[in-house]
Structure 1
Amino acid sequence: MRILLLEDEPEMASVLLTALHRRGILVDHAATLADGARHVEATPYDALVLDRRLPDGDGLALVARLRAAGDPVPVLMLTARDALDERVRGLDAGADDYLGKPFAVEELLARLRALLRRPAETRQELLQVARLCFDLAHREASVAGHRMELPRRELLALELLMRRSGRTVLREALERAVFGFDVEIQSNALDTHVSRLRRKLADTGAGVEICGIRGVGYLLRAAP
């Protein structure tokens, strides 16, 4: 599971990051609305935990942008603005749940688990291009029903490419999805992983191709 935590209070962010990491959850952290938007653009998340009151705006602005784009990612809002009218406004804007501060960490974790148990029909669970399928629920790729054994970073690259199949994925977005935001990346590291992935897809007869767009990024599409 990978989530984005958008929280500008350092102490609160530290407590939540520690609690989530201890439970094996991969977490990216942002402290501003602008950074949160960049994270969402670069990385497919299982859920978002967003504060309302941020240095550069209201976290609801990001929720509204996601819903307008048709993104159904579950969103849990955290805020000191817990009056009834504020909760109603947050839910109407597209948030899935609303937790007022202060709160118990265990309650936040329970609410996250509940969001991720939503029925499959509320989220896209299977991506398919030609004979290649990607199961978002189990993080598995398969070709004609046969599971592909892929290293974690190749799997992360493939997931983002398939989520945006037919469209160019910026190099920076792929690097952040594969390596995270706190890792120093060697200049050719992404190309190495994509090259290996491309070869494996060809060897299994997936019927797709990964095209490099010079100076921009990569695009996955059905092979002609």
Structure 2
Amino acid sequence: MAAATLDELDTVRRDGSEQPGRDRRVRVLVVEDDQALLSVLARGLREQGYVLDTAERGDDALHLMRLYDYAAAIVDWRLPGMPGDQLVREARKLGIPTSILMLTARDTTADKVVGLDAGADDYLVKPVDFPELLARLRALLRRPRQVGGSVLNVGGLRLDPGSRTVSLNGRLLQLTARELAITELLMRRSPAAVERLAIARHAWDDESDALGSNTIDVHVGHLRHKLSGSDVQLLTVRGAGYRLVRR
């Protein structure tokens, strides 16, 4: 697969172009099984200030997308473990609102329709032109995120991603923005445990602020109090984090 060269990346950096990821901790996932292309894209995006995670398999990428709140994902079509179009489709079924840019060598209209119908937001044909990729990524990040998807239920706890409301046994819960973010992540992963790092990345702009103190424990304690007396438990899993389960 052809890829942007390191010289092209240096040109983009030197020409003074906008660096929207700088100091904003915009988290992007790149999913690509071509290690040479993955390395070039990762270097270039980090140089532009983006916080980056990478995956070489589709199934690994879906796990990461369930775990972390990515502003955008750049996804290759042909991936081991799970094809790119299936990855996008599964992410959308889970209500994951991440903006997705698909990369592929396929350039027919029919192929583009398949990718877009799967839930991708944009499409870029290889070989990758890095300045164009940056421009498309910036355009995706300027769009309002479509937060929605299926209503989440764990026992009597109900979260509507569209309205951002949470109720317990029909009674509306008053949650802070961070409590809501933590609750949503725990409900999406229930009954599995969610590690503290994942919670910090999901609910805080700078996870070090949360991990460097007992802030997460305080918020979890408040949530436990609000869930007390119900059929839902927020459990601490030693060495693994927290899990939300029905009693």
TM-score bracket, shorter-length normalisation? 0.5 to 0.7
Residue 75 and residue 10 in structure 1: after superposition, are their counterparts in 2 closer, same or farther (change >3 A)? Answer: same
Distance 2:50 2:132 in 1: 16
Q: Percent identity?
A: 34
1:199 and 2:218 equivalent? yes
Distance 1:165 1:56 in 2: 25
Which residue in the other structure is 1:36 paired with? 61
Tell me how far 1:72 sits from its aligned partner.
2.5
Tell me how far 1:56 sits from its aligned partner.
3.0
Letter in 1 for 2:31: L
Would you say how many aligned residue pairs link Structure 1 and Structure 2?
187
Q: What SS does structure 2 have at the residue aligned with 1:60? A: helix
Residue 132 and residue 177 in structure 1: after superposition, are their counterparts in 2 closer, same or farther (change >3 A)? Answer: closer
Tell me how far 1:202 sits from its aligned partner.
6.7
- Given the alignment, which residue of 56, 64, 71 partners 2:96? 71
Tell me how far 1:196 sits from its aligned partner.
3.2
Letter in 2 for 1:78: L
Which residue in the other structure is 2:28 paired with? 3
Residue 55 and residue 35 in structure 1: after superposition, are their counterparts in 2 closer, same or farther (change >3 A)? Answer: same
Distance 1:44 1:113 in 2: 17
Q: What SS does structure 1 have at the residue aligned with 2:63? A: helix
- 8 Å contact 1:64–1:93 — kept in the other structure? yes
- 8 Å contact 1:44–1:177 — kept in the other structure? no
TM-score (norm 1): 0.67
Show structure 1 runs of 4+ deviating over 6 A.
Answer: 200-203
- 8 Å contact 2:237–2:243 — kept in the other structure? no
Distance 1:192 1:96 in 2: 33
TM-score (norm 2): 0.61
1:161 and 2:182 equivalent? yes
- Given the alignment, which residue of 111, 124, 136 partners 1:86? 111
Residue 166 and residue 36 in structure 1: after superposition, are their counterparts in 2 closer, same or farther (change >3 A)? Answer: closer
Q: CA RMSD in A?
A: 3.6
Q: What SS does structure 1 have at the residue aligned with 2:176? A: strand
Tell me how far 1:165 sits from its aligned partner.
5.3
- 8 Å contact 1:52–1:60 — kept in the other structure? yes
1:133 and 2:176 equivalent? yes
Which residue in the other structure is 2:158 paired with? none
- 8 Å contact 2:58–2:83 — kept in the other structure? yes
Deviation string 1:187-217 (CA, Å, 9 cap, x unpaired) is xxxx9768433336879x9x75793344564
Deviation string 1:66-119 (CA, Å, 9 cap, x unpaired) is 122232321100111122211111111111100000121111111111112223
- Given the alignment, which residue of 87, 94, 103 partners 1:62? 87
- 8 Å contact 1:169–1:217 — kept in the other structure? no
Distance 2:134 2:180 in 1: 25
Distance 2:53 2:44 in 1: 13
Distance 1:107 1:74 in 2: 16
